[in-house]
Amino acid sequence: LFIKKQHPERAGQVVFRRSDKEIGPWAERDDDSPRAYRLEYARLVNGIVYPANGFSVTVNSTTGEVTDYSMRWWDTSFPAPAGVIDRARAAALYLEKHPLLLEYVRAFERRPDGPDRPRYFLVYHPTGWPMGVLDAKTGQELDDEGKPVLSRKADFTDIAGHPAAKEIQLLADQGIVSAEDGRFRPNDRVTGGEMLAWLVAAADRDGYRPLAKEDDDRLIERALALGIIAAGEDIGAASPVTRLQAARWLVNSQGFGALARHGEIFNLKVADAAAIGPADRGYVAAALAMGYLTPQPDGRFGPEGGVTRGEAATMLVRALTAK
């Protein structure tokens, strides 16, 4: 009645979704009597729920008085529902991309009188990195911005016989590298944006999602959070990566950045050690010692030298498998 009185033209365009109790602020211990109820109503568009819009009404549990009220109702257009695939087809497409895997998981039971107790469950879990959102007309998996999500697995047509073919396919099978046209281009120079995306995907398997066109800001945000790059660092998203840049990112991605920054404790044994500055000395020494990179045939490190996509794939696999 309150919504109908305040917005008669919209009262018939909502559906009741949920009711939550508001406890306190001075509730007795073990007394869950609510002081109010919060009622949530979601907007209906073409008979379909749009949960981001609607009404929230708080009602005093004693007097029945409305004590708080809010409305969110955007003036926008919505696509017509004509041509949507049915629920069974959507479920089949989803499970085709993310088949259910039977596995054990651990959860913790909270105990007020002692430490949390672990419990183990046998569950079915979707494989891969499911977004849980499909385009209702095409069945295409979408990210949280409505952009198509690329497949995490790829078979490339241009890596047969290449020295890095095994490493490239391994990364593809793990969903770390992908391609829209079926080609990997192993001999092309890897760009900052490409290599950083691979490093983020490898380090943040649950949180990172490959997009049809990567957003540099989002990529940088994740790389910063993971400690792969430094604040304010120019990643050169469209520029070729140097060997020094690759060494720095690889060492950081494996958690050795804090140590590598103490360059004075490292003994760098390459012919051009004098040309490598103090801030980078530890990174180069660590990358060589761990086997991520190797010296050039003439014994130099070659900090400004380029890195191909195939070489970058090999470096990443070495970093991920180093002991």
Burial of 83 (0-12, 13-18, 19+ CB in 10 A): exposed
CA 28-31-34 angle, to 5 degrees, is 105
Q: Which two tokens stand for residue 112?
A: 């007020």
Greatest mean pLDDT range, 85-89, 96-100, 138-142: 85-89
pLDDT at position 131: 63
pLDDT at position 29: 53
Q: How far is CA 63 from CA 16, 38, 67, 69, 70, in A?
A: 22, 14, 10, 16, 20
Q: What is the mean pLDDT of the chain?
A: 87
In this structure, of 97-101, 215-219, 288-292, 300-304, the range with the lowest mean pLDDT score is 215-219
Burial of 44 (0-12, 13-18, 19+ CB in 10 A): middle
Q: How far is CA 91 from CA 128, 153, 214, 258, in A?
A: 16, 20, 27, 46
CATH architecture of 2-72: Roll (3.10)
CB 23 within 8 A of CB 32: yes
Please write the tens of the pLDDT for every residue from 35-77.
Answer: 899 999 999 999 999 999 999 999 998 898 999 999 999 999 9
172 CB contacts (<8 Å, ≥6 apart)? 153, 154, 155, 156, 178, 184
Sequence spans of domains, the chain: 2-72, 83-149, 165-321
pLDDT at position 150: 66
Q: pLDDT-derived band of residue 128, with 50, 70 and 90 as boundaries? A: low
**How many whole angstroms separate alpha carbon 82 and alpha carbon 2?**
34
pLDDT at position 50: 95
Q: Is the pLDDT of residue 287 over 90?
A: yes
Q: Is the pLDDT of residue 240 over 90?
A: yes
**How many whole angstroms separate alpha carbon 313 and alpha carbon 198?**
9
Q: Which helix (H) or strand (E) holds 72?
A: strand 66-72
